Amino acid sequence: MRKYTPKDNVQKKAYYTDRFYVAPQVPKQTVESDEVFLADLEAIKAKFEVKESYIQVEQMVIYINPHDIYGVLELMRDELEYTQLSEMSAIDWLAKDNSFEIFYQMLSMNKRKRIRVKYFINNGDAVDSVEKLFRSADWSEREMFDMFGIEANDHPFMKRILMPDDWQGHPLLKTYPLI
């Protein structure tokens, strides 16, 4: 039988205490293992610099330069048939190296494939808006501004979307106070 532990004052202790925990990585595969992804990667490499690429959980992940994002997504939409931007957000790496990792989740319905495009920006830098390519980026860019404080250049209506206008700070930053 298990030893009894009293359940008094369970709300005094936070359920999740390590906000800087980094989960273990899922195994990565080479892009050469999938011929569709390999052809897509070669088309992107022909016009833009790709820093790193691999397949993880049946989707390709590529790292590019921040200033190439508009051109890469335009190429993927017009030539590679990735017609949906299903997700876009940021990851806070400020404690590690004072930067954010920005990612765009692209979906091709014809190929039944997903590609995640990523790049790093320094704290205080802005991203280029892709709202003119994908209307779904409108609210995602506003949410990224509201939750992380990352502005999108050339966005038509950059203001808070979830928090009140007079709210101080950005709630998804790991340094945001919990109390």
> What percent of the chain shows pLDDT beyond 90?
79
Tokens 């359940």 found at = 7
So what's the pLDDT on residue 11?
58
- How far apart (Å, rounded) are the C-alpha atoms in residues 108 and 132? 19
Strand bridging mode 84-93 / 99-108:
antiparallel
Handedness of CA 164, 168, 170, 176 (dihedral sign): negative
- C-alpha span between 173 and 38 (Å, rounded): 35
Range name among 1-5, 39-43, 47-51, 121-125 with the lowest pLDDT average: 1-5
Tell me the pTM.
0.85
> Helix, strand or coil for residue 32?
helix
Question: Mind listing the pLDDT tens digit for each residue in 117-169?
Answer: 999 999 999 999 999 999 999 999 999 999 999 999 999 999 999 999 999 99
Q: Count H helices and E strands in the chain, helices first.
A: 4, 7
Rounded to whole angstroms, the Cα distance separating 61 from 41 reads 10
Q: Where are the alpha helices (DSSP H) in the chain?
A: 35-47, 69-78, 94-97, 137-148
Residues 6+ apart with CB under 8 A from 167: 160
Contact criterion met (CB below 8 Å) for 49 and 64: yes
Contact 109, 129 (CB under 8 A): no
Which has the closest alpha carbon to 55: 76, 80, 35, 75? Answer: 35
